Amino acid sequence: MEIVKFIETGEISDIAEKAYCHNRTRILELLPKADIQHVGSTAIPGSITKGDLDIQVRVSSEDFEYAVKVLSTLYELNRGSTRTDFFTAFKDDSAVPQLGVQLTVANSELDIFWKIREVLLANEQYRGEYDELKKKYNGREMDNYRTAKDEFFRRVMNSAEFASL
């Protein structure tokens, strides 16, 4: 049973930003046409986070399989995540902070991470609700938190703000 723990982003914001810039540079050297986005809670100033860094790599459908091969040379495939013709997740658990990389085909059905970030940045109510959800699940089972987080994200993705992006 995995337990989830949260911290304030301020505790790691500088480390997360440096790690994002480093990984962005590494990825762009190999995938110069990719759109690299800092996503997840460390991209939301003042929020609560698990302390990991999430990066979204957006590519064209034509470049997707090549991008999978390239990212496989940099990161471990996240076998616990979904894999489709337009989405593959990678990770680096040894990185500081731990790293998750979500490779998506731009404008595909899972090209959502940057949009969720934008809605949270623009909407104080959603940010507050998300932080309260994290506080509620702090120290509790990760699976239960993920279920609640998925429900929250579904609501965000059904919002007018999300639809406008």
Q: What is the pLDDT of residues 119-152, one digit of tens each?
A: 999 999 999 999 999 999 999 999 999 999 999 9
Domain assignment present for residue 67? The answer is yes
Tokens of 7: 């911290």
% of the chain exceeding 70 in pLDDT: 100
Q: Is 82 a domain residue?
A: yes
What integer pLDDT is reported at residue 114 of this predicted model? 98
- Give the full edge-to-edge strand order of the sheet including 53-59: 35-39, 53-59, 99-105, 87-92, 76-77
CATH number of the domain that 104 lies in? 3.30.460.10
The three-class DSSP label of residue 40 is coil
pTM of the model: 0.95
**Are 53 and 42 contacting, i.e. CB atoms less than 8 angstroms apart?**
yes
**In angstroms, rounded to a whole number, what is the distance separating the alpha carbons of residues 60 and 55?**
17
For residue 88, pLDDT over 90 is answered with: yes
24 pLDDT tier (thresholds 50, 70, 90): very high
- Per-residue confidence band for 1, with pLDDT thresholds at 50, 70 and 90: confident
Mean pLDDT value of segment 143-162? 97
Q: How far apart are the first and last CA of the chain?
A: 37
Give the per-residue pLDDT at 133: 98
Read off the DSSP letter of residue 4: P
Residue 113: inside a domain: yes
Overall average pLDDT of the 54-61 stretch: 98
Residue 28 resides in a domain: yes
Q: For residues 40 and 115, give the distance between their C-alpha atoms in angstroms, rounded to a whole number.
A: 11
pLDDT for 49: 97
Token pair, residue 30, equals 């190999």
Residue numbers of the domain that contains 110: 7-163
Residue type (1 letter), 31:
L
- 157 lies in some domain: yes
Number of domains in the chain: 1
Question: Is 2 within the bounds of a domain?
Answer: no
